[in-house]
Amino acid sequence: MARSKSSNRWLGEHFSDEYVKKAQQEGYRSRAVYKLEEIQEKDRILQRGMQVVDLGAAPGGWSQYATQVIGQQGRVVASDILPIDPLPFVEFVQGDFREDAVLAEILKLLKDEKADLVISDMAPNMSGVDAVDQPRAIHLCELALDMAKQVLKPKGNFLVKLFQGEGSEAFIRNVRESFRIVKIRKPAASRPRSREVYVLAQGFML
């Protein structure tokens, strides 16, 4: 089947992308690592010994980076509906975290302790139709926020990918109700024409 022009353009951009090349050279699973790295350098959300929950973790780049920062005393519990190849010091739960059994497994791996940080780089499978894609993307953000509220300890932090558009301002208002500080970050590794930003929420209030 012939590829569309937009598909060919994306492939061309992808393989000439400096962050794709850098990820390959440095042994990371995805270019998305550099988004988290830049946020970490600015905001220091990852610290040694932390318990971190990584939602929508596949292919595992964010978990891979997080373990390097938090060290072996910390713990990363990752989840995705897709499988990922095993990573050292990452405990992975495959499945939909909205399902009780999957949530129970995540909580079990946290050893019934609360998490210091919830991170989510989730995005829907894009159809190219904004009226379809944007509500799906906002829904994933809302699911990640609900999860964060369940597993975060007081004063814990939350980082989530958000696509700007219909519903994004309402989502940010919703986040502000549960966190003391809310910042918007647009890392250099985010493609300039992408509407994605990252919402960093700090100081979870029960």
Distance CA 100, CA 183 (A): 31
161 is catalytic: yes
Is position 173 within any domain? yes
123 vs 120, higher pLDDT: 120
Full-model pTM: 0.88
Res. 12: pLDDT tops 90: no
pLDDT of residue 81: 93
List C-alpha distances in Å: 69 to 16, 17, 117.
28, 25, 13
Task: Count how many Cα atoms sit within 13 Å of the Cα of residue 19 in the half-sphere of its side chain.
Answer: 18
At position 168, the amino acid (one-letter code) is S
C-alpha dist (Å) from residue 124 to 28, 117, 186: 22, 22, 19
Q: Which domain holds residue 160?
A: 32-204
Average pLDDT of the chain, as a whole number? 89
**Mean pLDDT on 118-133:** 90
* Helix (H) and strand (E) counts in the chain: 7, 7
The answer to the question of residue 13 being in a domain is no
Annotated active-site residue in 111, 114, 155, 161: 161
Decide if 15 is inside a domain: no
Average pLDDT over residues 90-107: 92
Would you state the pLDDT for residue 31? 78
Query: Is there a binding annotation on residue 60?
Result: yes
Which of the four pLDDT bands, split at 50, 70 and 90, describes residue 57? very high
Q: What is the dihedral of CA 24, 29, 30, 33, to 10 degrees?
A: -100
Strand ranges in the chain using DSSP code E only, listed in sequence order: 51-55, 75-80, 90-94, 115-120, 152-163, 179-185, 196-204
96 is in an annotated binding site: yes
| CA–CA distance, 193 with 162 (Å, rounded to integer) | 14
* Cα 33 from Cα 89, distance rounded (Å): 17
Give yes or no for residue 9 having a pLDDT over 60. no
Residue 24 covered by a domain: no
Tell me the CB-side half-sphere exposure of residue 23, using CA atoms within 13 A. 24
Query: Is the pLDDT higher at 139 or at 8?
Result: 139
pLDDT at residue 134 is higher than 50? yes
Q: Confidence class of residue 10 from pLDDT cuts 50, 70 and 90?
A: very low
We report the CATH number of the domain holding residue 61 as: 3.40.50.150
Annotated ligand binding at 100? The verdict is no
Residue 93 in domain? yes
Residue 114 lies in a domain: yes
Q: Residue 130 annotated as binding? A: no
Q: What percent of the chain has pLDDT over 90?
A: 69
Region 171-200: mean pLDDT is 93
Q: Which two tokens stand for residue 3?
A: 């590829």
Tell whether 123 is covered by a domain: yes
